[in-house]
Amino acid sequence: MTGRPKHRIAVEEVVLHGNRVSFRRAGTGPAIVLIHGITGSSRTWEEVIPPLAERHTVIAPDLLGHGESAKPRGDYSLGAYASGMRDLLIALGIDKATVVGHSLGGGVAMQFAYQFPERVERLALVSSGGLGQEVNLLLRAATLPAAEYVLPLLCAEPFRNAGASVARLLGRAGLRPGRDLEETARGFASLGDMEARQAFVHTVRGIMDISGQRVSARDRLYLAAAVPTLLVWGEHDRMIPVSHGREAHQAMPGSRCIVYEDAGHFPHCTNPWRFATDLLDFVEDTSPAVVDENEVRALMRRDG
Those residues with Cβ within 8 angstroms of residue 74's Cβ, 6 or more apart along the chain or in another chain = 64, 80
Helix (H, G, I), strand (E, B) or coil at 192: coil
Other CB atoms within 10 Å distance of the CB of residue 94: 15
- Which of 42, 103, 190, 255 does the annotation list as catalytic? 103
Whether residue 224 contacts residue 218, with contact meaning beta carbons closer than 8 Å, is answered with no
Query: Which of the pair, 62 or 167, is modelled with greater confidence?
Result: 62
On the question of pLDDT at 3 being above 90, the answer is no
Those residues with Cβ within 8 angstroms of residue 162's Cβ, 6 or more apart along the chain or in another chain = none
On the question of pLDDT at 164 being above 50, the answer is no
Is residue 103 flagged as an active site residue? yes
Query: Which of the pair, 196 or 157, is modelled with greater confidence?
Result: 196
Is residue 211 flagged as an active site residue? no
Q: Model confidence over 171-187: pLDDT tens digits?
A: 555 555 567 777 877 77
How confident is the model at residue 126, as a pLDDT? 97
- Which of 36, 41, 56, 237 does the annotation list as catalytic? 237
Q: Model confidence over 223-232: pLDDT tens digits?
A: 677 899 999 9
Residue 292's pLDDT band, with cuts at 50, 70 and 90, is low
Pairing of strands 19-26, 57-61: antiparallel
Residue 158's pLDDT band, with cuts at 50, 70 and 90, is very low
Strands (E), the chain: 10-16, 19-26, 31-35, 57-61, 97-102, 120-126, 208-209, 212-213, 229-234, 256-260
With residue 93 as reference, give the H or E element that holds it: none
Task: Identify the CATH number of the domain defined by range 10-134+215-303.
Answer: 3.40.50.1820
Residue 162's pLDDT band, with cuts at 50, 70 and 90, is very low
On the question of pLDDT at 161 being above 50, the answer is no
Closest of 51, 56, 105, 59 to residue 82, by C-alpha? 105
- Which of 56, 66, 236, 265 does the annotation list as catalytic? 265
How confident is the model at residue 168, as a pLDDT? 53
How confident is the model at residue 42, as a pLDDT? 96
On the question of pLDDT at 128 being above 80, the answer is yes
Burial of 6 (0-12, 13-18, 19+ CB in 10 A): exposed
Report the chain's mean pLDDT, rounded to a whole number. Answer: 84
> In sequence order, what DSSP letters do the residues of 231-299 get, joined into one string?
EEEETT-SSS-HHHHHHHHHHSTT-EEEEETT-SS-HHHHSHHHHHHHHHHHHHHSPPP---HHHHHHH
Closest of 54, 55, 69, 65 to residue 24, by C-alpha? 69
Q: What is the DSSP letter of 10?
A: E
Percent of the chain with pLDDT over 90: 56
In this structure, what is the dihedral angle of CA atoms 275, 280, 286, 291, given to the nearest 10 degrees? 90
Closest of 200, 182, 188 to residue 263, by C-alpha? 182
How confident is the model at residue 288, as a pLDDT? 93
